[in-house]
C-alpha cells in the first residue's frame, strides 16, 4: 500500500456535497446521521458531568461569549441521577452550553462518527449545543475550519449565513475576521427537530433559538484539515521523543524504529487531536513508521 494513501480524501463523496449551506434532504449522509440519533438526555447529561472522559468538556456561553462554567446552573440542574431532563429544566438554564467530543459519551453518536469517517476518510468528532432561549444564544458570528453537519435534536434553530456583495456565501480568510461582517447581507435557514444542515468549510454563520423556545443540536465535524496536520504532529512528536529518549546526539536512525514501536504507540495513544479515532490513529502509526523507515520527511 502506498504510504500516502490516507492523505487522500474520498474525493467522490466530497464532490457529492452541495456547493453551499443547505438542509440535507435525502442521501446516505442523512440516513447515517438520523438512524443513530436517539439519545437518552438524562443519562447523557449525567455522564458528561460526572464521568472524567478525556477531551469531553462542558463549556458555558452567554450572549455569544464564553463564561466560567461555575456561572452556569447546568451542573446543579442535571448533575444528579434523579434529575429529569424536560423542556422546563432546559429552559431554566442561565447560560448556553457546549459539550465537546460527545461521541465519547454515546455509542450511537460514535457509530455515526465512524460511518462518516469511513465515508470521507477524515477524522470526525461531534459537539452538542444546548440553548435555553433566544436571549442566551451560545456562539456569536464565526466560521469553522471544518465541514459541519448539524442535526437538530430538540426545538428549532435559525441559522444566519453571511453573504458577499455578489450574494455568494462568505468565507473567512486571514485578513477578515467574522466580527467585521455583522453589517453584511445574510440568508436565513430554519432547521426543525430531525433536520440536518450542511455547512461548508469556513462559511461565516451564526445560529439562534427561535422565539423563547430551547434548542439542542449535534454538530458533526469533518476535520478535513486535521488529516495532514495529524501526520505532521505525529512525526514531530515521535521525532522529539525518540531523539530525547534514545538518540539525543544523533538524527533519527531508521534501523532503530521497530525496536521502539511500543514507544510510538504509547505516544500516539496520548494524542489530543480532535478524537481522531482508534482506527485512524492506528493507521497513522503504521503509515508514519513506513514513511520514517523509507527516510521521507515532511
Q: Note whether residue 39 is domain-resident.
A: yes
Do 252 and 129 lie in one domain? The reply is no
Query: Which parts of the chain fold into alpha helices (H)?
Result: 11-15, 28-34, 41-50, 74-78, 87-91, 107-120, 226-245, 261-269, 278-293
Q: How many CA atoms lie within 13 A of 97 on its CB side?
A: 28
Do 145 and 186 lie in one domain? The reply is yes
For residue 144, what is the domain's CATH number? 2.60.120.650
Average pLDDT over residues 71-77: 91
Q: pLDDT by residue (tens digit) across 31-62?
A: 889 888 888 998 999 999 998 888 899 999 98
Do 77 and 47 lie in one domain? The reply is yes
- Boundary-marking domain end, from 222, 251, 271: 222
Q: pLDDT by residue (tens digit) across 183-217?
A: 788 999 999 999 999 999 889 999 988 877 889 99
Q: pLDDT by residue (tens digit) across 234-277?
A: 555 555 555 555 444 444 455 555 555 555 555 555 544 444 45
Q: Note whether residue 111 is domain-resident.
A: yes
Do 11 and 147 lie in one domain? The reply is yes
Q: Note whether residue 298 is domain-resident.
A: no
Long-range contacts of 234-238 (CB under 8 A, 24+ apart): 234/268, 234/271, 234/284, 234/285, 234/288, 235/288, 235/291, 235/292, 235/297, 235/298, 237/267, 237/268, 237/271, 238/264, 238/267, 238/288, 238/292
Do 105 and 16 lie in one domain? The reply is yes
Q: pLDDT by residue (tens digit) across 79-98?
A: 887 777 777 788 889 999 99
Do 176 and 247 lie in one domain? The reply is no
How many folded domains does the chain comprise?
Answer: 2
Q: pLDDT by residue (tens digit) across 12-24?
A: 777 788 889 999 9
Do 35 and 92 lie in one domain? The reply is yes
- Nearest alpha-carbon partner for 126 in 196, 6, 33, 218: 218
Q: Note whether residue 198 is domain-resident.
A: yes
- Boundary-marking domain end, from 205, 222, 239: 222
Q: Note whether residue 9 is domain-resident.
A: yes
- Boundary-marking domain end, from 202, 222, 242: 222
Let me know: does 198 contact 136? Beta carbons within 8 Å.
Answer: no
Average pLDDT over residues 2-6: 32
d(CA 199, CA 100): 18
What DSSP line would sit under 215-230, residue for residue?
Answer: EEEEEEEE-TTHHHHH
Do 137 and 175 lie in one domain? The reply is yes
Q: Report DSSP state, residue 161.
A: E
Do 112 and 216 lie in one domain? The reply is yes
Name the grid cell of 1: 500500500
Do 239 and 216 lie in one domain? The reply is no
Provide the residue range defining the domain that includes 174. 5-222
The percent of residues in the chain predicted with pLDDT above 70, rounded, is 66
Do 119 and 150 lie in one domain? The reply is yes
In the sheet that holds 186-191, the strands lie side by side as 186-191, 157-162, 205-209
pLDDT(161) > 60: yes
What does the pLDDT read at residue 105? 92
Average pLDDT over residues 64-93: 84
Q: pLDDT by residue (tens digit) across 211-243?
A: 778 899 999 999 876 544 555 555 555 555 555
Q: Note whether residue 65 is domain-resident.
A: yes
Do 38 and 163 lie in one domain? The reply is yes
Average pLDDT over residues 111-138: 85
What does the pLDDT read at residue 117? 85
In this structure, what are the phi and psi dihedrals at residue 278, rounded to the nearest 5 degrees? -60, -50
Q: Note whether residue 288 is domain-resident.
A: yes
Amino acid at each position: 500500500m502506498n504510504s500516502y494513501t490516507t492523505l487522500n480524501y474520498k474525493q467522490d463523496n466530497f464532490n457529492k456535497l452541495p456547493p453551499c449551506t443547505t438542509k440535507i434532504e435525502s442521501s446516505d449522509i442523512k440516513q447515517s446521521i438520523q438512524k443513530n440519533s436517539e439519545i437518552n438526555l438524562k443519562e447523557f447529561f449525567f455522564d458528561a458531568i460526572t464521568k472524567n472522559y478525556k477531551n469531553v468538556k462542558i463549556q458555558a456561553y452567554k450572549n455569544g461569549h464564553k463564561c466560567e462554567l461555575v456561572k452556569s446552573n447546568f451542573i446543579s440542574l442535571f448533575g444528579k441521577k434523579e434529575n429529569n431532563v424536560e423542556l422546563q429544566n432546559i429552559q431554566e438554564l442561565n447560560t448556553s452550553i457546549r459539550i465537546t467530543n460527545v461521541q465519547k459519551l454515546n455509542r450511537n453518536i460514535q457509530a455515526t462518527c465512524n460511518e462518516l469517517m469511513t465515508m470521507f476518510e477524515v477524522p470526525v468528532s461531534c459537539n452538542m449545543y444546548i440553548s435555553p432561549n433566544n436571549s442566551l444564544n451560545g456562539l456569536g458570528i464565526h466560521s469553522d475550519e471544518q465541514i459541519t453537519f448539524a442535526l437538530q435534536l430538540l426545538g428549532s434553530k435559525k441559522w444566519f449565513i453571511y453573504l458577499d456583495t455578489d450574494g455568494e456565501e462568505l468565507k473567512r480568510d486571514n485578513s477578515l475576521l467574522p466580527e467585521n461582517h455583522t453589517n453584511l447581507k445574510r440568508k436565513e435557514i430554519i432547521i426543525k427537530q430531525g433536520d440536518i444542515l450542511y455547512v461548508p468549510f469556513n462559511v461565516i454563520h451564526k445560529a439562534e433559538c427561535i422565539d423563547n423556545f430551547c434548542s439542542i443540536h449535534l454538530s458533526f465535524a469533518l476535520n478535513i484539515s486535521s488529516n495532514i496536520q495529524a501526520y505532521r504532529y505525529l512525526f514531530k512528536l515521535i521525532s522529539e521523543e525518540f531523539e530525547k529518549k534514545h538518540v539525543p546526539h544523533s538524527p533519527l536512525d531508521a534501523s532503530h524504529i521497530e525496536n521502539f514501536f511500543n514507544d510510538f504507540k504509547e505516544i500516539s495513544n496520548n494524542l489530543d487531536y480532535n478524537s481522531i479515532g482508534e482506527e485512524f490513529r492506528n493507521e497513522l502509526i503504521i503509515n508514519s513508521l513506513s514513511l520514517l523507515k523509507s527516510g521521507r520527511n515532511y
